[in-house]
Amino acid sequence: MLRTVPRHPDRPPDLAVVGDRLLTDCRDVTSDLGALDSSGQWAVVLPYAGEPVCARFDRVRPARPWTGRPWVGVPTDSWTSSLSQHEFETGVRTIRAAIARGDVYQVNLTRVLSAPLPPEADVAALGAALAAGNPAPFAAVVRLVDHGVQVASASPERFLERDGSRVWSSPIKGTAASAGEFLPKDRAENVMIVDLVRNDLGRVCDWGTVSVPGLCEVEPHPGLVHLVSTVEGRLRNGSGWADAIGATFPPGSVTGAPKVAALEHIAALEPVSRQVYCGAVGWVDADTGRGALNVAIRTFWFDDDQIRFGTGGGITWDSDPAGEWNETELKARRLLTVAAGPLTAPATGSVTR
C-alpha cells in the first residue's frame, strides 16, 4: 500500500543520496517490494529486522557536495557496546562448540554500539562526513524523518545489483589490516558464503546461469583490506525485485551457513536487535529495471535519542575469540573516528566501552 508523504515545514526535507544520485521531492512510501518493478526512482531501506521502506522520489540529480551545516561529532568515548569483550568472546566459543557438534559451519556474530545523539544532528551531514573521511563504493544516506528512517552508510559491500534480468552479489568475508595478514580461515569464510549465495541466487535464477566470475579477490578500503567474491545469474522470466530479495535476504555474508541455522544462533547470542544494521540500503530505477542495494555494514542510524553503529564478523572453527573481538574493533575504529568530527579521537586502543 502506497502512503503519500506529508509535508511538514518544521522537519528537514526527505532526501536520499544513493550511488551517484540525489533523490528529492518524495512522492510516496510503501513496504511492498513489488512496487520496485512499477515505475519511478526509489530509495530502498531493508532493515535486518522490520518492514522494508521503499520511497519514490520525483526529482533525481547527480549527487553534489554537502552545503549544509557540518556534522556535529560524537565523542569516541561516549559509545557503549551491546556485548562486552568477555561476552563477545564467550559467544565466539559458543559458536565454535556448535560447529564442533555439526550444527552450523559459520555464524556472523555482531554487536551494536550506541551513543547519545547530539542535539540538531543531521544524518545528511554525517553522510557527508563519511563520504569525505571514509569513501565507500556503496555509500548511502536516507533521511525520511516521518517514517523513522535516518541512515548513513559507508558500506563497501554489494548485496544485490540488477540490470534487467542479470543479478549479482559480491559478498565480503575476510578482513585484515593488510593483504599479507589474511589467515586461512578468511578464505574458508569467503568460500562458504559464496556457496550459500550461489544457492540463494539459484532459487530465483535460470538453471545453469549462476556463476562465480571472481573468487577471494583482495580489495583495499580505508584502513583495511577485504576478500571479495562475485556471484551472478539470470533471473527467471516473470521474476522481479521482490523475488530476488526474498530468495537472498538477509545477506549471507552477515548471517552464516547454513543460513537458517545461523539465524537461530544469532537470535540466541545477540542481546539487541540489529535493526537497520546488516540489512540493505540502495536505489532502484524501476523505469529501466536497474538498481543496487548494499549490505548495511559500516552503517550509522538514528534511533530516538541514540545514534547506533554495528560491527561484527564471521565465526568459524578456526576463529580465535580475542582475534575476532580485535577485528570488530578494527572495523569500527576508522568510522567512529570520522563520526567524532573535529573532536579528538584516539588513534589506537579500544574504541568502545
| Catalytically active residues, by annotation | 157, 173
Return the number of other C-beta atoms located less than 10 Å from residue 8's C-beta. 11
Positive or negative: CA dihedral 279, 282, 287, 288: negative
Could you give the angle at which helices 241-248 and 184-202 cross, rounded to 10 degrees? 140
What does DSSP say about strands 166-170 and 158-163: parallel, antiparallel, or unpaired? antiparallel
Per the CB < 8 A criterion, the answer to whether 175 and 327 are in contact is yes
Which residue's entry shows cell 558464503? 193
DSSP string, 71-100: P----GGG-EESS-HHHHHHHHHHHHHHHH
The C-alpha atoms of residue 113 and residue 264 are separated, in whole angstroms, by 22
The C-alpha atoms of residue 115 and residue 111 are separated, in whole angstroms, by 14
The C-alpha atoms of residue 271 and residue 352 are separated, in whole angstroms, by 17
DSSP, collapsed to helix, strand or coil, labels residue 57 as: strand
Per the CB < 8 A criterion, the answer to whether 225 and 179 are in contact is yes
The C-alpha atoms of residue 213 and residue 47 are separated, in whole angstroms, by 29
Closest CA relative to residue 277, chosen from 301, 257, 256: 301
